[in-house]
Amino acid sequence: MALLRALEQGTRIFDLGVPMQSGMAAAPANVPFSMALSRRHGDTDPTGQGGSGANAVIITGDHVGTHIDALCHVASKGVLCGGIAVADAMYGGKFTQLGAETINPMICRGVFLDIPALKGKSRLDPGYGITDKDLEQALGNTPLNEGDVVLIRTGWIQLYSNAEAYVGHSTGTPGPDASGGRWLASHKVRAAGGDTISFEQVELGPNFKKRPCHGILLWESGIHIIEVLDLEELAQEKVKEFVFVLSPLKLVGATGSPVRPLAVVEARGYEAKSAL
């Protein structure tokens, strides 16, 4: 196929997901990730000829690691996005409406906004609120169209190997403030993603538990949020626009799904790397 040959020869693929392994960072509201072999090679010999199989059991919350939020993830006064009553949408230990299985796969245009580069920093300060002006300035002359996906870098993923520092409960974490959320919603993006565990600004003090961007994007606007992205390689290569690829798991009634997003760009003179 001509399309397959073009992808193999003329593109570079950036993997935007983080590794999932025991001990990885997780917000306290989630069941942390753990994995163990439930059957090992050598435990049994079902064929009697030396053949064996191995299996693992995985336990995790649906908002651990790189993941996308389903629209049922947040509610306001007992109501979900679109005016759906929580009582009518939650039954039998799962959501019957707006669950993770309703998130469509994404192959669309992506736009990368590097806020630390804008500020002359390697990463943003704890609790920094990315404003609408910051986003507009980082966008510059690049078009942002309805249905695009916007990925916003804070540099916070640099702390990912230190789970306590990355979660930021003692420091706060950077991310878009309410004005940034309104800016994203006004552009009618398909999804917005970031490299922190909460996507948006988390401040110490009385506003610590407030998450206005989740309300603005998920609840008011039906815009999905992607969290815990690794955007460092995009920043190093100064990528601004790309083809964004994401496919959630069909976790029926879940409030989110683990994902392994990809950014696909033209090779542009450096070695093409393909995941195909």
CA dist., res. 254 & res. 252, Å (int): 6
| Positions of the chain with pLDDT lower than 50, given as ranges | 272, 274-276
CA 51 vs CA 38, 56, 57, 216: distances in Å: 17, 18, 21, 55
d(CA 149, CA 158) in angstroms, rounded, equals 22
Name residue, tokens 């920094």: 128
Fold of 2-18+64-266: Glucose Oxidase; domain 1 (3.50.30)
Are 213 and 179 contacting, i.e. CB atoms less than 8 angstroms apart?
A: no
- Sign, CA dihedral 171-133-113-207, equals positive
Domain ranges of the chain: 2-18+64-266
Cα–Cα nearest to 16, from 220, 191, 165, 207: 191
1 neighbors 9 (Cβ within 8 angstroms): no
Q: In what order do the strands lie in the sheet with 149-153?
A: 11-15, 262-266, 241-246, 106-114, 149-153, 191-194, 224-227, 67-69, 256-258
Measured CA to CA, the distance from residue 273 to residue 156 in angstroms comes to: 26
The pLDDT assigned to 276 comes to: 47
Task: Output the pLDDT for position 37.
Answer: 95
